[in-house]
Amino acid sequence: MTDRPAGHTASRAAAGRPASGPYRVCFVCTGNICRSPIAESVFRALLADAGLDGAVTVDSAGTDGWHEGDGADPRAVAVLDAHGYPGDHTARRFQAAWFPLLDLVIALDEGHLRELRRLAPTPADAAKVRLLRSYDPDAEADGALDVPDPYYGDRAGFEECLRMVEAAAEGLLTAVRNAIQETE
């Protein structure tokens, strides 16, 4: 299933958000201790490198609250550290009330995508939800758009998660940059 809409941007006007203020992105996985903190750290670093860190805010959350208040999984932190990404993080659960405050909600797998769209209070809010790997042309060509949960595996799964996130992050950056330019 392709999650890419025409143009693959997230227009603020179409999403019902005002054009002022920073563009807001939230990455969402299950418990907010593995995949979404990795994606948040990678994307935050990419934004800084692109000079967009002041124009975009990034955070993450989980569809479930099992780990609320916990730090990221130590294996996720180790992989982020090994690749030069900062990893300061506290897990929290995604709230439907956040939709009006966000421009883009990035799901890490199809289950998260379905849950987030179910939580969305309006069709416009549901349209803000995208799969991360839909921004990776190689993943979309393969039809493999989920980032597998590394929680029950070893460090290799976290390395693979990081690789998948990095591969999609450039395409996401382009989409966010385009969305910001549409409002200027």
The residues annotated with a catalytic role in the active site are: 29, 35, 149
Residues 6+ apart with CB under 8 A from 170: 46, 135
161 touches 33 (CB < 8 A): no
- CA geometry: angle at 80 spanning 161 and 24, to 5°? 80
- What's at 86, amino acid-wise? P
C-alpha span between 58 and 60 (Å, rounded): 7
Burial (CB count within 10 angstroms: exposed 0-12, middle 13-18, buried 19+), residue 113: buried
Q: What is the 3-state secondary structure (H, E, C) of 157-175?
A: HHHHHHHHHHHHHHHHHHH
